[in-house]
């Protein structure tokens, strides 16, 4: 049974690899024997993630890509497949939203968030999906959010809409590609204590205690998640342990959406 979670010899592309969740997933994959292509916006970020993964005695390569640029996505997917020979796993995570009242969101800001989170997920799924279909095997994991399942009511409308689109795309691709041997699932985390959330807490204009209480008050476990707590769900969905699961949005949310 322990072999169900073994990723030895598999090859993964993880976008947003240098962020808190991305790096935790990259390390978790590598610890289970997976070779990892670490994609991020800037070369130093991609390289730092690659260096961290390389310590696990697996192959790791840095990939630089601005996921708001379709041509860069195409090139990143093709170059990774060329370097690795094939891809077994794709994790779509890259992106950073805005926090602003909906009445103040400009059209360029709306389009930027949609493009970074939803369009890039579609384009990576399309590019890597073609390759996986040709091999009749593969697992795609899209990182969504509880904001796609319940309303936050605090200025994340573009982000919520984009992540809801990611859920719908996940289900559509799962059904379309099931008979082609490719599984597609998503993970919807609650608030995870990453750098962007820490920045909000450190903002001098913010009452950190009140903000933290507003977050944790809606999570039955009573605390924020840690990046490492998304690693297990990702390994599960990438491995043979989830071989019967496709089209599922797994809420890793401390009970948030169970209420």
Residues marked active site are found at: 159
C-alpha to C-alpha distance for 229 and 239, rounded to whole angstroms: 17
C-alpha to C-alpha distance for 68 and 78, rounded to whole angstroms: 17
The answer to whether residues 241 and 34 touch, using CB atoms and an 8 Å cutoff, is: no
- How many helices (H) and strands (E) in the chain? 9, 7
The answer to whether residues 188 and 250 touch, using CB atoms and an 8 Å cutoff, is: yes
Spatial CB neighbours of 167, under 8 Å, sequence gap ≥ 6:
144, 148, 149, 186, 188, 249
The answer to whether residues 223 and 160 touch, using CB atoms and an 8 Å cutoff, is: no
Residues forming a β-bridge with 15: 39
User: Token pair of 65, please?
Assistant: 């890509």
CA 234 to chain centre: 9
Phi, psi of 31 (to 5 degrees): -65, -20
The answer to whether residues 102 and 154 touch, using CB atoms and an 8 Å cutoff, is: no
C-alpha to C-alpha distance for 160 and 24, rounded to whole angstroms: 23
C-alpha to C-alpha distance for 63 and 41, rounded to whole angstroms: 9
């Amino acid at each position: 049974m322990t072999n169900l979670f073994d990723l030895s010899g598999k090859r993964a592309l993880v976008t947003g690899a240098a962020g808190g969740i991305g790096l935790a997933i990259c390390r978790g994959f590598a610890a289970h024997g997976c070779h990892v292509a670490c994609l991020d916006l800037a070369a130093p970020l991609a390289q730092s993630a690659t260096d961290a993964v390389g310590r696990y005695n697996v192959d790791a390569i840095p990939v630089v890509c601005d996921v708001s640029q379709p041509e860069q996505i195409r090139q990143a997917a093709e170059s990774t497949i060329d370097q690795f020979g094939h891809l077994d796993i794709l994790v779509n995570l890259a992106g950073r939203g805005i926090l602003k009242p909906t009445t103040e969101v400009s059209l360029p800001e709306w389009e930027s968030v949609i493009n970074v989170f939803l369009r890039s997920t579609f384009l990576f799924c399309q590019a890597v999906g073609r390759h996986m279909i040709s091999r009749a095997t593969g697992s795609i994991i899209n990182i969504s959010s509880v904001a796609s399942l319940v309303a936050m009511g605090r200025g994340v409308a573009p982000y919520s809409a984009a992540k809801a689109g990611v859920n719908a795309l996940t289900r559509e691709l799962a059904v379309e590609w099931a008979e082609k041997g490719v599984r597609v699932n998503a993970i919807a985390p609650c608030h995870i204590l990453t750098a962007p959330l820490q920045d909000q807490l450190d903002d001098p204009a913010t009452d950190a205690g009140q903000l933290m209480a507003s977050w944790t008050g809606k999570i039955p476990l009573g605390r924020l998640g840690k990046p490492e707590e998304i690693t297990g769900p990702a390994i599960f969905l990438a491995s043979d342990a989830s071989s019967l699961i496709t089209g599922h949005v797994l809420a890793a949310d401390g009970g948030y959406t169970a209420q």
